[in-house]
Amino acid sequence: MYKGILFSIFVGLLSVLLEKFMPPAFNGILIALLLGMLLGNLLKLPVALEPGINYTSSKMLELSILFLAVGINYTDIAALGVQPFVGVALVVFAVLFLSFFLSKRFNCPGNTGILVGFGTAICGSSAIAALAPSLQKQNKEDVAIAMAVVNLLGTLGMLFLPWALLQIDWPSSDVASSAIGYLVGGSLHSVGNVAGAGFAIGKSAGDVAITVKLARVALLTPGLIFMTYLTQRNAEGSWKRYFNLPWYLIGFIIVTFVVSVVDVPKPALKDVEYVGKVILTIAMAAIGLKVSFKKLLQAGSRGLRFGVVMFALQLSLLGLAILVMR
């Protein structure tokens, strides 16, 4: 097994290195997924590597969720205020609900639509990593498509959404900063996307965007419980199964609580977050190594169309929330 684990780590670390030489549109996670798929499809990998690759793709994916928690401080989120937080929460759960039912209408293969919707609503690749192991029918192609879709749309949104929002005739600069920050933080997929778009507009908009984004990340656990209910509501068993959280989400809750009550130096938190990103990158490399180009091309277009629709719906709902709060 160790050979497959070491090979996955090698591809993941190579992706981290390549990220330093690539434009911002290509983050390490996307590079790892693409590089893994390229190697997995062009090379005939030894069968002896498969157990280690399988292990890495599942366990590393779960472990990365723990590291995501260090970036969440409930004290900072509280500064957002009750009304804006409620608005964000309502939009998140509305997107989750819509993604579950609309994925069937769009004929999304397997769990692709559910994973894309979950990643769109909460925190991109990390949210997909959290949900994937809890789904009854797991498929690495579904995870790969969903990861590719949210990374692609998140990057495009980071590049073009600030420009589009600045074309709106806002009543004042203060209103513009808060509204744009709310829209950017409430819609873009990863924290990196939000930071890149928000601070490109200005510090005020960037600060609002990051706070709103962290509020979405903090909804990861309740969002997972809600999605588990939607996907398993017709299955036999006790209602308690909806709250049977996997170990990594229990750890996520504990870590967020500790970070919120203990004064941990910010440089240390940044280092731990970076380690988490590297772990997720290695997991994505392992997933990519197992994905068939043929299957990806067959199903990817439907996943992409669905991702665009969900992103547009999320932006529309956030705009409605802003109008209600004014």
- pLDDT, tens only, 196-219: 888 888 888 888 898 899 889 888
What 3-state DSSP class applies to 123? coil
213-230: per-residue pLDDT in tens?
988 988 888 898 888 888
- Close Cβ partners of 234 (under 8 Å, ≥ 6 residues apart): none
What 3-state DSSP class applies to 102? helix
The distance from CA 249 to its chain's CA centroid, rounded to whole angstroms, is: 15
What 3-state DSSP class applies to 106? coil
Query: Any idea which residue has 């590079």 for tokens?
Result: 31
Using the predicted structure, report yes or no on whether residue 116 has a pLDDT greater than 70: yes
Using the predicted structure, report yes or no on whether residue 313 has a pLDDT greater than 90: yes
At position 151, the amino acid (one-letter code) is: N
The distance from CA 322 to its chain's CA centroid, rounded to whole angstroms, is: 23
Using the predicted structure, report yes or no on whether residue 293 has a pLDDT greater than 90: no
- Alpha carbon distance 5, 326 (integer Å): 53
* Residue 122 pLDDT grade (very low, low, confident, very high; cuts 50, 70, 90): very high
- Close Cβ partners of 218 (under 8 Å, ≥ 6 residues apart): 72, 74, 77, 256
252-285: per-residue pLDDT in tens?
888 888 888 888 888 888 888 889 889 989 988 8
Using the predicted structure, report yes or no on whether residue 173 has a pLDDT greater than 70: yes
- Position 320 scores a pLDDT of 92
- Position 237 scores a pLDDT of 60
23-72: per-residue pLDDT in tens?
766 778 888 888 988 898 888 888 888 888 888 888 888 888 888 788 77
% of the chain at pLDDT higher than 70: 94
- Position 231 scores a pLDDT of 80
- Position 308 scores a pLDDT of 93
* Residue 235 pLDDT grade (very low, low, confident, very high; cuts 50, 70, 90): low
Averaged pLDDT of the chain: 85
Using the predicted structure, report yes or no on whether residue 125 has a pLDDT greater than 70: yes
Count of Cβ atoms closer than 10 Å to residue 36 Cβ: 27
Domain range annotation of the chain? 2-325
| b (16+ CB within 10 A) / e for 83-109 | ebbebbbebbbbbbebbbebbeebebb
* Residue 1 pLDDT grade (very low, low, confident, very high; cuts 50, 70, 90): confident
Using the predicted structure, report yes or no on whether residue 154 has a pLDDT greater than 90: no
